[in-house]
Chains A and B, each alone.
Chain A
Amino acid sequence: MSIVDTVKQAVTGAVTGAMVRLTPDAPVDPLATKHGALGRSVPRVDGPLKVGGQARFAAEVPVEGLTYAALVYSTIAHGRIVTLDTAEAVAAPGVVLVMTHENAPRMAPPAIFMSNPRAAGASDLPIMQDPSIHWNGEPVALVLADTQEQADHAASLVRVSYEAAQADLSFDQARAQAHAPDSVLGEPARIAIGDAEAALAAAPYRVDLSYRTPRHSHGAIEPHAATVLWEGDKLVVHDATQMLHATQWTLAGIFGIREEDIRILSPFVGGGFGGKGLWSHQILAIAAAKLSKRPVRIALSREGVFRVAGGRTTTGQRVALGANADGTLAALIHTGVAAMTAHNNCPEQFTFPARHLYAAGSFLLEQKVADIHMLANTFMRAPGESVGTFALETALDELAEAMALDPIELRRRIEPDKDPTSGRAFSSRHLLEAYAKGAERFGWSQRPAPRSRREGEWLVGMGVATATYPYYRMPGGSARIRLTAEGAVVQMGSHEMGMGTATAQAQHAADRLGLPLERVRFEYGDTDLPPGTIAGGSSQTVSIAAALLAAHEVLVAQLLKLAGNDSPLGGLKAAEVEARDGGLHHKEDTGRGESYASILARAGRAEVVAQAEAPRPMEVMKHSMHSYGAQFCEVRVSAVTGEVRVSRFLGSFDCGRILNPQTARSQFRGGIIMGLGLALMEETEFDERTGRIMNPSLAEYHVPVHLDVPEIDVIWTDIPDPHSPLGAHGIGEIGITGVGAAVANAIHNATGRRVRELPITLDKLL
């Protein structure tokens, strides 16, 4: 079965298109519009632990008899190991084990992401099983010692010689042989509607532009780490992960053991952004723990993160727009190539925004991949959409300029009434409203003509761009509610990398159950809990919400049964009651109800436990579901040095109902700030002669620091999506989208200069 089929099946099961259309919409979630705990700025439930230094991350679990791991990385990009001399390392003080392909236990290759709904492998390359080398930086040896200092020292004593084979390292050369991927996240790699090239050629206004975007690194401040213990045949991994249950399933396949014998815990993750998945370091640490019969801690060095945990790949894109005199689009072409490896499956879906954003008479949307000998690239905050909106939204700005139209006015003229490529109705789309609100608040009408506003050495300009990210809800998650007279605990093996999951879902549970916030708790971060879905694709909030909603239906049925006919609830059906004031009550007859404590006491029960799996995400099959935003940026560019300072920024979003304004604002801001990095400074430098990453450190891979970041204003429409649980959309990724273009467009407005290659460093402006 192809990956496309697998993914489609994961979403719909055996349901056909016709059946999807005939399936009625789920009723609107009553909590979508209700104000209780939801909609309030509740401070993070884990705040005191985090500011007190008491939150325990993966490398911080105390274990008796722990050993520490250090890795040795290959120095060639392709070829094989010829000799391995480990004698000196083995003899070094404190060394417990030196593991190489010669003595590593046999392990199956990881099941690659999307080959199964629970596959987590970033690549399907075998790990330390043979002498072959596939990227510069691939681990060739792992050293275990009693202390980290001893392990690091011994790792420096391992001597390796290689025989190099021809390696494909140049993106421009590999582009010539670019090929279509099997699919782009289950979607076709090419969409053509009408004859876009002909329409472009015939259009009275056109732009036809090329863009380049570099590799990026997630740069989570917590480096990847795991603490691994074998307890007999049972494996316990304290991991930093955003895919708990998928990791469990995939490890079971690699080590040939039962899933039930693996427990993964990850209560706190020090930033993920797509990067905290299953890489070789966890697998190697587990293998080393097995060989040495000792618990192992592997905490990657910052360099190690760059060598073994992949980031965003580089792209070359073309955007060509043909416009009619009235400002409508005759042709929208967005094509290009992303660098990938022959062993992974992450084509950086940069054409996705153009599939859904604007109306046009014809479309050509196509992406290919070029195989490079490099570490597998992976998902990083808004993979595709982040760099795709850079190209699309700067091209639109150029078109608006060519047509002497305000860029916001251009977007009004190309606003579609239904999804332009799928033809489906939008579930909830208020992009123009976000633009209008944002423009007013930002003072867009004050935007100067290009290169006309100067304050001393500083040229000042404003830019705008659309932000967009799809709505995803992952199937397969289950939630459990344990209700007692004191309150409730909701349990699900989900993830908290700082998004505010535990806080928002506690708010959700409180409102769903009609309990005060202080009487509910959300437990997560452990595969012993009912299965969660991955924290990816901005899907987790609604994926958990749907499971909790389903579990709540089961709970209500159980409670009504327990209450029996002696209760004021006697004879009522589930549809006639609602949860509020610590119990169940008749929806209309306010006096008729019973508290949970009373139902439990009369039934002689200490607790009621209800668990259910979320229904399949039919809403995404029926509707075109996306989030939107308008990003407004003001920059100051030094006419002397080319230095760019972002002086003001506003994000105006349309992302359904906002559950917790304070944590939501932080998510949006965090995305925008990563977008400022993408626009102005971030680049993982790949040496095309050797395949080596040249700046594997936070000193040389620059991320925005305090002084780079102005106060970022964030507003939202807060209009619930009638088709999603809680009326909500995920918001973790949309913040980064559109930012690159908003900054680039502002720089053009300030300087008259167009830069079509990221990052926009000062050398490109001089």
Chain B
Amino acid sequence: MRFTINGQAVEASVDLRTSLLDLLRDHLHLYGTKKGCNQGACGACTVLVDGNRINSCLALAVQYQDRAVTTVEGLAGEHGLHPLQQAFIEHDGFQCGYCTPGQLCSAIGMAAEAERGVPSAVTADLSAGPVVLDHDELRERMSGNLCRCGAYNGIVEAITQTLVTGAAE
């Protein structure tokens, strides 16, 4: 099977039952993407596929051939960390760091969804176009990413500073 992970073409032959998450971790040794529950409940395994966030534990690897998969290892650019990664450090948006890769990928996908006007459970006007990520919108949309260390305040600050238009200092 052929995959494109973080811009690199990779080949792997795996059991058809293998999830995208296990492909990344056990077969490609890209351990940045985390397994917290393996059943879609925690968000630790979030990756970006063609820019959209998915729970890679609920995805079969075989379905993601020829799609562009981005993991936490692919977020940094030539000049170092992605601004969101840097902001997580500055705002202490983690403690143990286990949920962090999922929070990062999820936030990037989430900001794109809001930009496209995808509504959430707390969106009042469903036809208003791009959604302004106020405190409630942002937290609602990130609620699929659990952080048992409770770094939520720092995570929200980091996302707001980096990805919310008009909020940058």
Contacts and interface: CB of A to CB of B under 8 A. Distances in A.
A148 B19 CA distance: 11
Find the residue from A49, A150, A666 having the highest chain B CB count within 10 A: A666
Given A52-B76, A60-B25, A699-B39, A221 B146 contact: yes
Contact of A706 (B29, B41, B139): B139
B140 A147 contact: no
A301 B150 contact: no
20 contacts: A51-B85, A51-B86, A52-B32, A55-B97, A56-B31, A147-B26, A220-B96, A220-B148, A221-B147, A270-B34, A271-B148, A301-B38, A302-B39, A497-B96, A662-B92, A663-B95, A669-B152, A697-B39, A704-B150, A709-B150
Contacts, number: 182
Dominant secondary structure of chain A at its interface with chain B: loop
Interface string B84-118: 01101110101111111100100000000000000
Interface string A42-56: 011011111111111
Find the residue from B39, B44, B146, B148 having the highest chain A CB count within 10 A: B148
Nearest to B90: A43
Interface string B146-165: 11111111111000000000
B152 A53 contact: no
A665 B93 CA distance: 11
A62 B31 CA distance: 10
Given A53-B31, A148-B26, A221-B146, A666 B39 contact: no
Interface residues of A, number: 64
A757 to B, nearest CB: 24
A273 interface: yes
A153 to B, nearest CB: 8
A222 interface: yes
B94 to A, nearest CB: 6
A161 B146 CA distance: 38
A498 B140 contact: no
Contacts of A765: none
B96 to A, nearest CB: 3
A476 interface: no
Dominant secondary structure of chain B at its interface with chain A: loop
Nearest to A219: B148
Given A698-B36, A706-B143, A707-B143, A222 B96 contact: yes
B69 interface: no
A220 to B, nearest CB: 6
Interface of B: 15, 17-18, 22, 25-26, 29-42, 44, 71-73, 76, 81, 85-86, 88-90, 92, 94-101, 104, 122, 136, 138-140, 142-156
B148 A273 contact: yes
A697 B40 CA distance: 10
Contacts of B152: 669, 673, 704, 706, 709
Nearest to A269: B96
B41 A699 contact: yes
Contacts of B44: 221
Interface string A264-300: 0000111111000000000000000000000000010
Find the residue from A43, A50, A147 having the highest chain B CB count within 10 A: A50
Nearest to B104: A51
Find the residue from A54, A62, A674 having the highest chain B CB count within 10 A: A54
